[in-house]
Amino acid sequence: MGQLDGKRAIVTGGASGFGKVISQALAREGASVAVWDVRKEGAEGTAKTVEAAGGKATGVAVDVSDSASVQMAMAQSVEALGGVDIMVNCAGVMYRTPIIEMPVEEWTQVISINLTGMFLCCQAVSRQMIEQGTGGKIVNFASGRGVTGSVNSAHYAASKGGVLAFTTTLGMEVAPHGINANSICPGATDTPMMRGGLTEEQVQSRMSSDVPYNKRIGKPEDIIGPILFLVSESSKDMYGQTLFIKTP
């Protein structure tokens, strides 16, 4: 406990799933947290759970696909926290549509949030960290589907493949400033986004097939250990790397 005492963190997509669990975990380790989400009530709700547990947090409404919105959210977060040392980018969307039936609007939305949004957030936080001059940690959520592809979710796979390539490059560019930028691929995990309208039987079948060695669907809490590693001094020599969790 306390390995992040005094650190200031931003977590995108913090209203639910990975983002909510990570916001709470960082706060338990002593960080003050700005919870970002497009849903204002969701962001504030997670912040309230952090504060109820004795941590410090603020909820920030933001559309990560919009540059002006990201800039405003960054300014609001820096004012509230006094700066930023950690950013974990969890915000994302996923749909299940075959390529031949996919509306261009759906493709554009997924790429705009999952990839362009990642770029905008990383650009904004990198500028802030460089201005502060004290380094920092950036963790971007990718997916094994960015490597293997994903039937009926080509836009999701494409966006996550882009995140992998983008983060490798980001890691090299910001390393001279003492910033560690890496990505993480969590594998099959039971989150609201992954369920996406599936029946319980489909959830069990599709998710467990991604983890052939124990057939256990991951829980968002499973990601806490790897995330704490990536945002702590334990990963000080890692940049532009990808950590795969339970992905065949």
Give the residue numbers marked as catalytic: 156
CA distances, 21 to each of 12, 25, 68, 227 (Å): 12, 6, 27, 11
The three-point CA angle 71-42-104 to 5° equals 65
Q: Alpha-carbon distance 228 to 9, whole Å?
A: 12
Structure tokens at 167: 């983060």
Two structure tokens written together for 94: 């996923």
